[in-house]
């Protein structure tokens, strides 16, 4: 679908039955379509690597965590806790 059409649907879903001036609605549609167009060419990998760098040994660590999680039970819970509750520097 074209960006303009997607933007129209997003704005329509956001506003619902609210009455909004045509100028304001057209401005919203234009802003959202600009975001959609720019999102397609945004380099997420570059910005993630610069702002959220991975640890040096992340490949070995990932393999180890997957092996531990596959064991199930308390091991799986420990992996979750380590990743998501801040028990580790691998967040």
Mean pLDDT over the full length of the chain: 84
pLDDT digits (tens, 9 = 90+) for 14-42: 888 888 899 999 999 999 999 999 988 88
CA dist 71 and 6 (Å) reads: 44
pLDDT at 28: 93
Question: For residue 44, is pLDDT > 90?
Answer: no
- Verdict on whether the full-model pTM lies above 0.95: no
């Amino acid at each position: 679908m074209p960006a303009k059409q997607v933007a129209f649907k997003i704005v329509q879903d956001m506003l619902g039955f609210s009455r909004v001036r045509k100028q304001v609605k057209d401005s919203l549609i234009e802003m959202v379509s600009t975001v959609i167009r720019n999102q397609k060419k945004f380099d997420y990998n570059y910005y993630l690597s610069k702002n959220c760098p991975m640890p040096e040994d992340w490949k070995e660590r990932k393999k180890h965590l997957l092996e531990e999680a596959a064991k199930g039970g308390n091991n799986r819970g420990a992996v979750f806790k380590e990743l998501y509750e801040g028990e580790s520097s691998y967040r």
